[in-house]
Structure 1
Amino acid sequence: MIAAEKGAYFDEARSAEIVIDRNADCPDARLAEIVAVVVRHLHAAVKEIDPTQEEWLQAIAFLTRTGHMCNDWRQEFILLSDVLGVSMLVDAIANRKPSGATQSTVLGPFHVADAPLLPNGADICLDGKGEPLLVRGRVTDPDGRPIAGARLDVWQANDEGFYDVQQKGIQPDFNLRGVFETDAEGRYWFRAAKPKFYPIPDDGPVGQLLRRLGRHPYRPAHLHFIVTAEDREALTTHIFVPDDPYIGSDPVFGVKESLIADFVLRDDPARAADLSLRNPFWEVEYDFVLAPARAAAG
């Protein structure tokens, strides 16, 4: 009979320590650290919850259904991470900014690479639908100096809450998408359509969880931006419409107060004509502040 090592037998009081000790020979120190933290918190949560066997089997079944919903174009586990606030927490930790720099938020699933590079002032609303919107601002460093040649990759949902990739054959390709470069003064401007709130996918287990928690699936209206410049940290963020009915209850927790912009309705026929916009039109001005690039890890 082989003698058991110390701690080999399970004990409720020391459950986490017993599991962690079993991994002592792991050759990957970082993996061992991560698993130890997860085990410690998971065992503490189970002890605090004090689940029945039936409740634990329900939890396993929920995770199984979540996995079954995943495919090449849908990742239900990311959605679960989103609605539990974990995606935003990881984003916040990974993208800590110096004081004054624009805050980041989640990328979202509808970014498309290789959107067309357009001149400032171009209209990204290719089908002409929705309320016209002028978007403008500057890109600067934290000291207020303009950054010329910064690139802004922008995309948004239409006035019905759909992205072009969700409505192939209905919306034109690259509708409400474009890439712009700042001028010598760091300025950018383009024409668009005022965005609208829309639901995250809620036909799977994560949507069922939201309903059982008494929560809705609607993301507040926003514009997406990826802003890049030489020697600057890339910024992935949104700007949000302040009077959206869901601004205070984003199901993926993507709203930060500093990202709520001022959308103003303009009734100015002469200016609208000069901008080739229908009157009245909306206008939002938002300045992006890029942090210096972090030094590469040694």
Structure 2
Amino acid sequence: MNIVTTPESVLQITLQAMERTPDPRLRSVMAALTRHLHAFVREVELTEDEFERALEFLVAIGQASGETKNEVVLAADLLGVSTLVALQNNQDPQGESPAALLGPFWRANAPFCDGGESIARSETPGVPLEVAGTVRDTAGRPVADATLDVWQASPVGLYENQDPAQQDMNLRGRFRTDAEGRFHFRSVRPAGYPVPTDGPCGDLLRAQLRHPNRPAHLHFMVSKPGHKVLVTQVFADDDENLESDPVFGVTRRLIGRFEPQQGGGHATLQYDFVLEPGEMKFPRPPIP
């Protein structure tokens, strides 16, 4: 009889209940997840109080998500899962650009801009930044008419949806590459910023004695029909938190040279991207 008799018997009965799942991938993933969850509970000898606190944490990250942040995505980031998924699915065997986690602040449908235009739409004091580069395919050919979706935090470390002083869609924009695959735009140099700490994820960081400060970076999403969508970030090479990013997003190839110009009056970033062939499938926006 499939009746639970011991702690060890629960797993096999649970797996048997899932065997009728028609979707083979769902059946495989859920069986593996269940095995690992049960092994974790047994390994740490999870107490009833700890189990209750874990469930409260899961409920709380859902309740804390809204129009200004996605606490569920943030939890996946802080546990290194988002970066693991990005790296595992983007191994760049042919030299394509490394991927990075999407993060909790991407918004779809940023306004399209002309080449060389600034994405600073409202009063945004800071060091002017000029960004340029080329998009190529894995054979080294320029990719014309590719779309670069760019977003960043302000020089005070806030995305526009977090800051009522910033205009809607400030420091966000989309650009198309020219016939030679080139792009360029203007902005202000971003600052590092703390991930949101006013919710359950902040409580977790404090309990682990971890700081919340991400190194300064620009987000890029590069797309063109016939190519896999590249979601990545480029980090400032002089940021003190490169080796302690709380969401583990920094990889060596994603560190860009933010070059000071004219005594620090402005800075430049030159960075190229390589797209791999594949389906142009966009992620789901974590916030409206």
* RMSD of Structure 2 on Structure 1 (CA): 2.3
Tell me which stretches of 4 or more aligned residues in structure 1 moved more than 6 Å: none
For residues 103-135 of structure 1, what are the alpha-carbon distances to aligned partners after superposition, in whole Å with 9 as ceiling and x for unaligned?
111222322333222222212223251001111
Alignment partner for residue 238 of structure 2, among 221, 243, 267?
A: 243
> Quick check: 1:186 aligned with 2:186?
no
Aligned CA distance change for structure 1 residues 262 and 63 (closer, same or farther; 3 Å):
same
Secondary structure at the counterpart of residue 239 of structure 1: strand
Question: In 2, are the aligned partners of 1:98 and 1:291 still within 8 Å (CA)?
Answer: no
Alignment partner for residue 12 of structure 1, among 7, 12, 30?
A: 7
Given residue 14 of structure 2, which amino acid in structure 1 is its aligned partner? V
> Quick check: 1:281 aligned with 2:266?
yes
* TM-score, normalization by structure 1: 0.85
Secondary structure at the counterpart of residue 34 of structure 2: helix
Uncovered stretches (5+) of structure 1, i.e. residues with no partner: 269-278
Alignment partner for residue 158 of structure 1, among 138, 149, 154?
A: 154
Report deviation, 1:238.
0.9
Alignment partner for residue 203 of structure 1, among 198, 222, 226?
A: 198
Secondary structure at the counterpart of residue 94 of structure 2: coil
Uncovered stretches (5+) of structure 2, i.e. residues with no partner: 282-288
How many residues matched?
280
* Aligned pairs for 1:63-78 within 5 A: 63-71=58-66, 74-78=69-73
Secondary structure at the counterpart of residue 5 of structure 2: coil
> Who wins on radius of gyration, i.e. which is larger?
1
- Aligned equivalents of 2:120 and 2:273: distance in 1? 22
1:218 corresponds in structure 2 to 213
Percent of paired sites with the same residue: 43
Aligned CA distance change for structure 1 residues 139 and 77 (closer, same or farther; 3 Å):
same
Question: In 1, are the aligned partners of 2:228 and 2:280 still within 8 Å (CA)?
Answer: no
2:76 corresponds in structure 1 to 81
Report deviation, 1:165.
1.9
> Quick check: 1:230 aligned with 2:225?
yes
For residues 55-78 of structure 1, what are the alpha-carbon distances to aligned partners after superposition, in whole Å with 9 as ceiling and x for unaligned?
333323333333432346543222
1:132 corresponds in structure 2 to 128
For residues 123-169 of structure 1, what are the alpha-carbon distances to aligned partners after superposition, in whole Å with 9 as ceiling and x for unaligned?
2223251001111111111222211222211111110011122223x
Secondary structure at the counterpart of residue 242 of structure 2: coil
Instruction: Point out the more displaced range, 116-125 or 69-78.
Output: 69-78
Question: In 2, are the aligned partners of 1:198 and 1:218 still within 8 Å (CA)?
Answer: yes
- Aligned equivalents of 1:25 and 1:147: distance in 2? 46
